[in-house]
């Protein structure tokens, strides 16, 4: 039987963030990078800042019917890094986040902020780790939908993740599918009636990246 690890990870208020000592820290690396998405199920979420998880890689695995494509996960991989967003949230909303992350188990990880702090935060990892593959050669059954990758890219920009990591995100191929209408409606503008192709020039302009 699959058992979730219900770990409420509290902030070390004496060293890091004294104003959030009654909250839970959560490290997001997938669709929850995007504020609007994050606050659908966790309205108390407050963005703290970008952070990096060392010795892991970002990958995609397991088809999501809501997103109509593979979902993101992290996999232990020495030498690699995953950038994400740290959120502060009400401990009473943990069960809502657990429900959203069905198919994942909760775990605590040590992440490093851009200010140099090391923080223990809650995150989620799929029960099954996918085999490593080059990002631009991701197998078709492990490709995210256009919508899902766009949400991640928008969240990465919004969260201030490094340009190099956003460039890495853009190398993942998609399955050219659009998420369920319920997802698009919950995300609102610009995901309703907007093609995935529009996100590429947006990233280029905002980050001043030359392809």
| pLDDT at residue 196 greater than cutoff 60 | no
Establish if 158 belongs to a structural domain.
Answer: yes
Establish if 13 belongs to a structural domain.
Answer: no
Establish if 195 belongs to a structural domain.
Answer: yes
Query: Is the CB of residue 185 less than 8 Å from the CB of residue 73?
Result: no
| pLDDT at residue 12 greater than cutoff 90 | no
What CA–CA distance (Å, rounded) separates 124 from 139? Answer: 23
| pLDDT at residue 13 greater than cutoff 60 | no
Asked if residue 27 belongs to a known ligand binding site, the reply is yes
Q: List % helix, strand, coil for the chain (3-state, nearest 5).
A: 30, 30, 35
User: Would you place residue 193 in the very low, low, confident or very high pLDDT band (cuts 50, 70, 90)?
Assistant: low
Asked if residue 148 belongs to a known ligand binding site, the reply is yes
Tens digit of each residue's pLDDT (9 = 90 or more) over 113-155 = 999 999 999 999 999 999 998 888 899 999 999 999 999 999 9
Tens digit of each residue's pLDDT (9 = 90 or more) over 27-52 = 999 999 999 999 999 999 999 999 99
Pairing of strands 69-89, 118-126: unpaired
- What predicted TM-score, i.e. pTM, was given to this entire model? 0.83
Range of the domain at 137: 18-207
| pLDDT at residue 7 greater than cutoff 70 | no
Asked if residue 29 belongs to a known ligand binding site, the reply is yes
- Say how many domains are in the chain: 1
Establish if 2 belongs to a structural domain.
Answer: no
In the set 76, 93, 101, 211, the catalytic residue is 101
* 77, two tokens: 């991989």
Query: Is the CB of residue 86 less than 8 Å from the CB of residue 25?
Result: yes
User: Would you place residue 69 in the very low, low, confident or very high pLDDT band (cuts 50, 70, 90)?
Assistant: very high
**What pLDDT does 78 receive?**
97
Asked if residue 28 belongs to a known ligand binding site, the reply is yes
Active site residue 211: no
Find the mean pLDDT for residues 84-99.
Answer: 96
The lowest-confidence range among 34-38, 65-69, 151-155, 200-204 is 200-204
Give me the CATH number covering residue 167: 3.10.490.10
Establish if 8 belongs to a structural domain.
Answer: no
Establish if 1 belongs to a structural domain.
Answer: no
């Amino acid at each position: 039987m699959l058992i979730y690890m219900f770990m409420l990870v509290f902030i070390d208020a004496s060293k890091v963030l004294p104003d959030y000592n009654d909250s839970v820290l959560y490290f997001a690396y997938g669709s929850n990078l995007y504020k609007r998405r994050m606050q659908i199920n966790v309205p108390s979420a407050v963005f703290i800042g970008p952070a990096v998880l060392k010795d892991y890689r970002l990958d995609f695995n397991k088809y999501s019917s809501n997103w109509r494509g593979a979902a993101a996960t992290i996999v232990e991989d020495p030498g690699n890094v995953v950038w994400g967003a740290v959120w502060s949230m009400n401990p009473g909303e943990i069960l809502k986040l657990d429900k959203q992350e069905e198919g994942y188990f909760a775990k605590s990880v040590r992440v490093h902020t851009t200010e140099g702090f090391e923080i223990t935060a809650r995150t989620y990892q799929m029960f099954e780790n996918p085999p490593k593959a080059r990002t631009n050669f991701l197998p078709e059954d492990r490709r995210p939908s256009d919508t899902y990758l766009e949400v991640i890219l928008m969240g990465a920009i919004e969260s201030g993740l490094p340009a190099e990591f956003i460039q890495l995100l853009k190398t993942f191929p998609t399955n050219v599918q659009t998420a369920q209408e319920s997802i698009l409606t919950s995300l609102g503008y610009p995901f309703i009636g907007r093609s995935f192709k529009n996100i590429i020039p947006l990233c280029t302009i905002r980050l001043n990246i030359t392809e």
